[in-house]
């Protein structure tokens, strides 16, 4: 059975309309993808760093209940995970506030456990990460991450990367562009959202985006175009794949993360890129009909119409 490792940050989340009664949850882009991969039957491990606090224990228990492997989660003494709060204004507009500068994941590749972590990542079929993952690390730790990915690829692992550009995580777009150019040189499957890539690379359209990615050496590309569908490009074949129409979506959180999970799960099961894009659309189409990034397990789609 293929094995996938997802690298990134999952933070504690506080949300609610009343500061005296906030709801505690957790969230993270690569964690969302990992959960959906696990639910789709893919053996998936999450790679991050947490503290030795009760809240970190709680998150680990939640992930394990989803079937995620957590043996590659580093536990840092006297540290606590990052935190963000969602403030909902009149009319439904949301603001996000973050406390994450000292989160232990930022030192993931500096901890003593990092050597063992790097060696164990060589055993996976796919390693998945995003632009948010890259933004966590300074130059030295990012270089260690790249060395780890190079070693894993030398052992046969493939790299899947989603741009997932969030400006607040970078000093400027030039820094993001350089880091992403470096990771794309190591990427086998790129799954960017076009609205993110245009901010970093200025591509004129999805075709130009796919062409640029191929020029860096990426063999397989799926450019997500939100409600317009996706452009799949691989092996000299390029095709637009329509999305699954949904009336009055409730919440688009994790639409791209779940698409990536559906796409990769389908590819690992032997489906073509076009069929994989349809699978990604189908899952994302269900996810946006529920509030929150992770939908109830019983709401997972059982098949495609």
Catalytic residues: 257
* HEC profile of the chain: CCEEEEECCCEEEEEECCCCCCEEEEECHHHHHHHHHHHCCCEEEEEEEEECCHHHHHHHHHHHHCCCECCCEEEECCCCCCEEEEEECHHHCEEEEEECCCCHHHHCCCCCCHHHHHHHHCCCCEEEEEHHHHHCCCHHHHHHHHHHHHHHHHCCCEEEEECCCCHHHCCCHHHHHHHHHHHHCCCCEECCEHHHHHHHHCCCCHHHHHHHHHHCCCCEEEEECHHHCEEEEECCEEEEECCCCCCCCCCCCCHHHHHHHHHHHHHHCCCCHHHHHHHHHHHHHHHCCCCCCCCCHHHCCCCCC
């Amino acid at each position: 059975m293929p094995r996938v490792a997802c690298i990134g940050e999952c933070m504690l989340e506080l949300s609610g309309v009343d500061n005296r009664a906030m709801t505690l949850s957790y969230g993270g882009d690569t964690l969302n993808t990992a959960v959906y991969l696990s639910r789709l039957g893919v053996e998936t491990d999450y790679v991050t760093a947490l503290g030795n606090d009760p809240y970190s224990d709680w998150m680990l228990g939640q992930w394990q209940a989803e079937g995620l492997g957590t043996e590659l989660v580093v536990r840092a003494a006297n540290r606590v995970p990052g935190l963000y709060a969602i403030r909902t204004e009149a009319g439904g507009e949301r603001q996000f506030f973050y406390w994450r500068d000292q989160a232990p994941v930022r030192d993931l590749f500096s901890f003593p456990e990092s050597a063992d972590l790097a060696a164990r990542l060589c055993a996976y079929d796919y390693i998945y990460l995003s632009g948010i993952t890259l933004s966590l690390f300074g130059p030295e730790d990012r270089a260690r991450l790249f060395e780890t990915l190079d070693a894993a690829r030398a052992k046969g692992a493939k790299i899947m990367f989603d741009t997932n550009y969030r400006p607040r995580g970078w000093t400027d777009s030039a820094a993001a562009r350089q880091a992403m150019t470096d990771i794309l040189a190591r990427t086998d499957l790129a799954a960017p959202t076009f609205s993110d890539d245009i901010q970093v690379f200025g591509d004129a359209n999805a075709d130009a985006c796919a062409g640029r990615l191929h020029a860096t050496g990426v063999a397989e590309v799926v450019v997500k175009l939100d409600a317009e569908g996706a452009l799949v490009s691989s092996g000299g074949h390029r095709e637009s794949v329509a999305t699954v129409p949904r009336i009055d979506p409730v919440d688009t959180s994790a639409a791209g993360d779940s698409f990536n999970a559906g796409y990769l799960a389908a590819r690992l099961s032997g489906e073509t890129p076009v069929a994989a894009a349809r699978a990604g659309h189908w899952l994302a189409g269900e996810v946006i009909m529920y509030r929150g990034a992770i939908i109830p397990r019983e709401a997972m789609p059982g098949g495609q119409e």
